[in-house]
Chains A and B, each alone.
Chain A
Amino acid sequence: MKIWLPLDSAAVALGADEIATALVAEAARRGVTLDLVRNGSRGMIWLEPLAEVEVNGVRHGFGAMTLDDVAGLFGDLAAHPKALGPVDELPWMKAQTRLTFARCGVIDPLSIADYRAHGGFEGLERAKTMSKPELVAEVTDSGLRGRGGAGFPTGIKWKTVSEAPGEKKYIVCNADEGDSATFADRMIMEGDPFVLIEGMAIAGLACGATQGYVYIRSEYPIAIKVMRKAVEIARSVGVLGSQFDMEIRVGAGAYVCGEETSLLNSLEGKRGVVRAKPPLPALQGFMGRPTVVNNVISLASVPVILAKGAAFYKGFGLGRSRGTIPLQIAGNVKHGGLYEIAFGLTLGEIVDGIAGGTASGRPVKAVQVGGPLGAYFPRALFDTPFGYEEFAGKDGLIGHAGLTIFDDTADMLGMARFAMEFCAIESCGKCTPCRIGSTRGVETLDRLAQGDASAMPVLTDLCNTMKLGSLCALGGFTPYPVMSAVTHFPDDFARAKEAAE
């Protein structure tokens, strides 16, 4: 009997390990030979832990599993209270376009045979037959832009590194996924680690880099474990080795290290302070040498681009946002999880349609798009199509494509204050607008909360200074959540004034 049960952090946090132990015990008790595969998550977090049982070659889902549901998996499956039917036929799965996440939740993450059987290494095989300029051109033509948040064209970055002089070059994968509402990097590292390794190996070929690093945040213990094992396996089969090798590095709880220059300093064993640009990391990055710094999802999208061609990938999306984007739907949400789809759905289609509104059943008040540095969107802006330029046009950003949904109990002044507080805690201290501005921001919002309306011009001015005067996105983008809360939810700021009066 074959059962899949995720090793994914979210599944584990909801009891998957206990279910796994119970499955093994129940199988032993019944004398059943159990082949238990710990897969990645399919992304339907509200159904986790999601067990899958193969019936006549079709995987049937059962979730959310509790310990009481374990014995039933060995009985009449059709009568199981948690039976969901074939997983691939579930509406959530059927409507997606899974390119980057095609294998996530499907295969055994650490089986190289499984990976190959599902199209793995096809991109790398093709890449080996191409020249460096051809590889760079393929990625440029695909329209792939940095999925970490900045949206910089990946091919252009690669071109700079590829053409830069230097004896040793590096591919650094930014897996310091610290934004709330984002977990796509974690899910792919836990559910399909070889796709990231393959993407980095292709980047190595395109840029003439021989060494890679994956900088994973320490808050992701399972992803670290899976990636380390995957690197060992990839070495054992010769995918990694003398031509291109890589190492998994672990962060140490500093949010700012998700910023690429700060990450490079951290990787070099220094304080994770931001570096001024120029010089660009592409020319003087890790150890002062030419370095590609790409997000996990950017790199994990490269194998499918190489395997199926730039035109195929570019065929999805809208405007200058090409390809697919793994939406991460989170917060107070009925159906939360990972949903990969072409750019272009409206925010309303995502929040009301796919996500089904809030978990609490109360009306949606606000959606923060793009993590702690992203703007809060009110219902009035739900017609905004999901794309880099489209969100920028509404004074927001898509960032790493995380969406946090809030119901009508959310206090937007409190959330604005938290944005400033978070910036103050996590500021690296290098530039003044961020280091000092964030603390002044907390104080100014406290004045507003006490009904001091004269604090509003100060807050606006302060946000402007932070936006224009900060070295990196931490200080520079903290004004997005703050000012969007002020602009779109004025009642939450006026109420405080009334209270004072």
Chain B
Amino acid sequence: MLDSIDLETRIREILDAHRGQEGSLLPILHDVQEAYGYVPEAALPIIAADLQITKAEAHGVMTFYHDFREKPAGRKVLKLCRAESCKSMGADALAAEVQAKLGLDWHETSADGAVTLEPIFCLGLCACGPAAMVDGKLVGRATAEALVAKVKA
């Protein structure tokens, strides 16, 4: 469990770091997610009050963007590109194979909390697809074996 006093202190530090920045909500949410691995629900009222917006507005912004998580992800996050260029190189078959090997559907985290599987739409690696990202690290010409080995490493 998060200690609520610690949380508030940390969120206030982040808010102070963005003081005076124009349109600072996204940078703030990125920093909160960087600190916690997700955006804790308890953080939103603190952020909203500080930016003088409603909690609903803060919640609305956070949930609009695919990147922000409401709960922690697995220890490793595997993102598979599902866009056209990667599809032309067999991304659908790769995804089916990875899903079968990991026993996970999109947006699912394995029961042991080891890995989360997510779709992503384009990593800009369109001439060396199918592309993937494992914990922020880029992979070109990805194979199911190599990806599963990386997430299990």
> What is A's interface to B at a CB cutoff of 8 Å?
9-10, 12-14, 45-46, 48, 177-183, 186, 218-222, 247, 249-255, 266-273, 286-287, 328-333, 336-337, 359, 368, 371-372, 402, 404-407, 410, 415, 418, 422, 425-426, 428
From residue A478, how far is it (CB to closest CB) to chain B in Å?
A: 13
Out of A180, A267, A268, name the residue touching B122 (CB < 8 Å).
A180
Q: Which residue of A lies closest to B121 (CB)?
A: A255
0 or 1 for each of B17-39: is its CB under 8 Å from A? (1 = yes): 00001111111011000000000
A-B contact pairs, 15 of them (CB 8 A): A9-B138, A180-B83, A181-B126, A182-B124, A183-B127, A219-B122, A250-B27, A268-B22, A270-B25, A271-B60, A272-B64, A336-B127, A371-B84, A418-B87, A422-B121
Q: Which residue of B lies closest to A268 (CB)?
A: B23
Q: Which of B23, B67, B84, B122 has the most CB of A within 10 A?
A: B84
Q: Is A330 touching B138 in the complex (CB atoms < 8 A)?
A: no
Contacts of A267 in B (CB 8 A): 23, 26
Contacts of B57 in A (CB 8 A): 270
Q: Is A271 touching B124 in the complex (CB atoms < 8 A)?
A: no
From residue B60, how far is it (CB to closest CB) to chain A in Å?
A: 6
Cα-based distance from A329 to B24 in the complex (angstroms): 36
Interface residues of B, CB < 8 Å — how many?
Answer: 42
> What is B's interface to A at a CB cutoff of 8 Å?
21-27, 29-30, 51, 57, 60-61, 64-68, 83-89, 120-129, 131, 133, 136, 138-141
Contacts of B123 in A (CB 8 A): 9, 13, 219-220
Q: Is B125 touching A13 in the complex (CB atoms < 8 A)?
A: yes
Q: Is A250 touching B124 in the complex (CB atoms < 8 A)?
A: no
Q: Is B127 touching A333 in the complex (CB atoms < 8 A)?
A: yes
Q: Is B140 touching A14 in the complex (CB atoms < 8 A)?
A: yes
From residue B92, how far is it (CB to closest CB) to chain A in Å?
A: 8
* Given A254-B65, A332-B88, A359-B89, A186:B22 Cβ within 8 A: no
Out of A14, A219, A253, A404, name the residue touching B84 (CB < 8 Å).
A404
Contacts of B126 in A (CB 8 A): 180-183, 328, 330-331, 336, 402, 404
Q: Is B89 touching A331 in the complex (CB atoms < 8 A)?
A: yes
Q: A183-B127, A218-B67, A331-B88 are in contact. List 20 more A-B contacts (CB 8 A).
A: A13-B123, A13-B138, A14-B128, A45-B128, A46-B127, A46-B128, A179-B122, A180-B85, A182-B124, A183-B124, A221-B136, A251-B67, A252-B26, A252-B29, A253-B66, A254-B65, A271-B60, A337-B127, A410-B88, A418-B84
Contacts of B23 in A (CB 8 A): 267-270, 286-287
Q: Is B26 touching A269 in the complex (CB atoms < 8 A)?
A: yes
Q: Is B87 touching A252 in the complex (CB atoms < 8 A)?
A: no
Q: Is B141 touching A14 in the complex (CB atoms < 8 A)?
A: yes
Cα-based distance from A329 to B88 in the complex (angstroms): 13
Cα-based distance from A221 to B124 in the complex (angstroms): 11
Q: Is B127 touching A178 in the complex (CB atoms < 8 A)?
A: no
Contacts of A12 in B (CB 8 A): 138
Q: Is A269 touching B25 in the complex (CB atoms < 8 A)?
A: yes
From residue B25, how far is it (CB to closest CB) to chain A in Å?
A: 3
Q: Is B25 touching A330 in the complex (CB atoms < 8 A)?
A: no
Q: Is B64 touching A271 in the complex (CB atoms < 8 A)?
A: yes
Contacts of A179 in B (CB 8 A): 122
Q: Which residue of B lies closest to A426 (CB)?
A: B121
From residue A413, how far is it (CB to closest CB) to chain B in Å?
A: 13
Contacts of A14 in B (CB 8 A): 128, 140-141
* Given A331-B129, A418-B84, A180:B121 Cβ within 8 A: yes
Contacts of B88 in A (CB 8 A): 331-332, 404-407, 410
Q: Top 5 A-B pairs ranked by shortest CB distance?
A: A336-B127, A269-B25, A252-B65, A13-B140, A330-B126
Contacts of A13 in B (CB 8 A): 123, 125, 128, 131, 138-140
